[in-house]
Structure 1
């Protein structure tokens, strides 16, 4: 089981806070540091305010040396895909080829209105998401010295040099969600990894099954994809430590146990085992208290060796 750390900086985090978490992520042996791409808090004051995902990942590319870096997920409503392709390729170069791009259609209307970002209806957002996947991967696949053209309903590129190219031959693309027919088909066509966020093992397995079926229908080996899940992490070496961490993030222990990777170390290990049985190969551990670096130490020292 590949374990990654996943953060929600819109809830309140300075760059220095993120840097400390990312560095500890690397020091303790997790494979990656991912962050959300949001501009508005979802509860609380969100101080000191939002940070841009790709700006902070650029900084972390220079402040870390080995962990993978990415978004879960970048909203297709936030950036023109041509600009996003340039940004991601730039951060990939800064990191020495450690970047991954999670991309989604966008959903949080309030952050769009708060910062003057257009928020089209769901159908149009999904159309834009699909065109962005095609456009970005098309740019990165264009040989150096040739030009790229794209004509969609929402985006058009003419005689683009499609530069800069990422350092990696292929930047991994993470697509996730409910795996409804259209989404599953897009994952089968473009994704390197399919992610199911905050769902039960049974529901996670069902969504994986739909993506595997979409791969088969598209003539792609379903084993080409990595299958992952994202879940809230709240672990303790004993019940008292678990309860303290639950209180720190404003969650009830019973709710966390039912809907996350939560409890004492043996409970967390057992929960991870249930997701492994559902087909999960990679877990994004959503860490909500970014000041609690001992939480990462505990999981690295006591949970990871048992998997």
Structure 2
């Protein structure tokens, strides 16, 4: 089971804070540092110090780290034109020496679009599907050839399809709980499928849908990595667990039901349920970013117990 660190900077974090977490992620032996792609705080009013852009942040971190994978859960398809996104991700991949992964979603948070003047179209899923076709199509076009795409929402004519990522293929992550369209898109485009904030039982059912869709599309179900994103709140004793829950505005019983909360042994047991459900990678949602001792505790007392 791989453990990755997943941050939500829109809740209030500047670049220096994210850099400190990314460096701790690398030093403590985690597999990757990921961040959300949002421009507005969810809950509360100020969101100080304000949003940071996901791909500008990852470009900086690409030059400040050397080993960990870097990526998004999830980049909103509403934020960037697909041709521009393909260029940005390929460039950051080069800056990192080939350590980038792209989580891409349809976009859902209407308020952040209104707040920053970003169009929020009604038909987002069809645009998302075309974005996947364009981004992957540009990357897969052989050097010296051009890429043309005629869609309902995006049209590209004789694109040189440059630059190319350093990696032969930048891993594409698709996620969600949709029962039909989402598994179909994952089967066609994804290297990894992520189920966010769901039970082990619901995750197993969704993984099964994606596996079936992959097989129907002519792929093996095991061609994809299956993963979960879950909030983490781990403590050495009940007082420390309660302190960490209070710091993120959550209740301990709720976190125990819906996340990875409790003692290290409790959390190992709960992760085991997701392993049985078919997950091989957990994104630990870390909400109190200055609490680097939290990352150290999980690295030292949870991770060594995992298969």
Q: Which residue of 2 aligns with 1:72?
A: 73
SS in 2 for 1:284: strand
Q: What's the offset of the Cα at 1:46?
A: 1.1
Q: Contact conserved, 1:238 with 1:265, CA < 8 A, in 2?
A: no
Q: Which residue of 2 aligns with 1:130?
A: 129
Q: Which residue of 2 aligns with 1:40?
A: 40
Q: Contact conserved, 1:148 with 1:160, CA < 8 A, in 2?
A: yes
> In 2, Cα distance between the equivalents of 1:181 and 1:268?
31
> In 2, Cα distance between the equivalents of 1:260 and 1:88?
30
Query: TM-score w.r.t. structure 1 length?
Result: 0.99
> In 2, Cα distance between the equivalents of 1:217 and 1:90?
34
> In 1, Cα distance between the equivalents of 2:41 and 2:247?
17
1:306 and 2:305 are equivalent in the alignment: yes
1:221 and 2:220 are equivalent in the alignment: yes
Higher mean C-alpha displacement, 175-184 vs 104-113: 175-184
Q: What's the offset of the Cα at 1:6?
A: 0.1
* Residue-by-residue CA offset, 1:143-171 (whole Å, 9 max, x unaligned): 11111101100000011000000000000
4+ aligned runs moved over 2 Å, structure 1: none
Higher mean C-alpha displacement, 234-243 vs 164-173: 234-243
How many residues of Structure 1 are paired with residues of Structure 2 in the alignment? 305
> In 1, Cα distance between the equivalents of 2:127 and 2:61?
29
Q: Contact conserved, 1:232 with 1:286, CA < 8 A, in 2?
A: yes
Q: Contact conserved, 1:90 with 1:164, CA < 8 A, in 2?
A: yes
Q: Which residue of 1 aligns with 2:157?
A: 158
Q: What's the offset of the Cα at 1:179?
A: 3.7
> In 2, Cα distance between the equivalents of 1:304 and 1:182?
34
1:18 and 2:23 are equivalent in the alignment: no
Q: How does 1:174-189 map to 2 (within 5 A)?
A: 174-189=173-188
Q: Contact conserved, 1:10 with 1:50, CA < 8 A, in 2?
A: yes
Q: What's the offset of the Cα at 1:59?
A: 0.2
> In 2, Cα distance between the equivalents of 1:266 and 1:50?
35
> In 1, Cα distance between the equivalents of 2:191 and 2:247?
35
Q: What's the offset of the Cα at 1:219?
A: 1.1
* Residue-by-residue CA offset, 1:86-141 (whole Å, 9 max, x unaligned): 000000000000000000000000000000011111xx200110001001100000
1:199 and 2:176 are equivalent in the alignment: no
> In 1, Cα distance between the equivalents of 2:132 and 2:179?
17
Q: Which residue of 2 aligns with 1:49?
A: 50
SS in 1 for 2:302: helix
* Residue-by-residue CA offset, 1:236-255 (whole Å, 9 max, x unaligned): 01111111111111110000
SS in 1 for 2:38: coil
Q: Which residue of 1 aligns with 2:247?
A: 248
**Alignment gaps of 5+ in structure 1:** none
1:8 and 2:4 are equivalent in the alignment: no
> In 2, Cα distance between the equivalents of 1:68 and 1:292?
21
Q: Which residue of 1 aligns with 2:274?
A: 275
Q: What's the offset of the Cα at 1:226?
A: 0.1
> In 2, Cα distance between the equivalents of 1:167 and 1:280?
28
Q: What's the offset of the Cα at 1:43?
A: 1.5
Q: Contact conserved, 1:179 with 1:210, CA < 8 A, in 2?
A: no
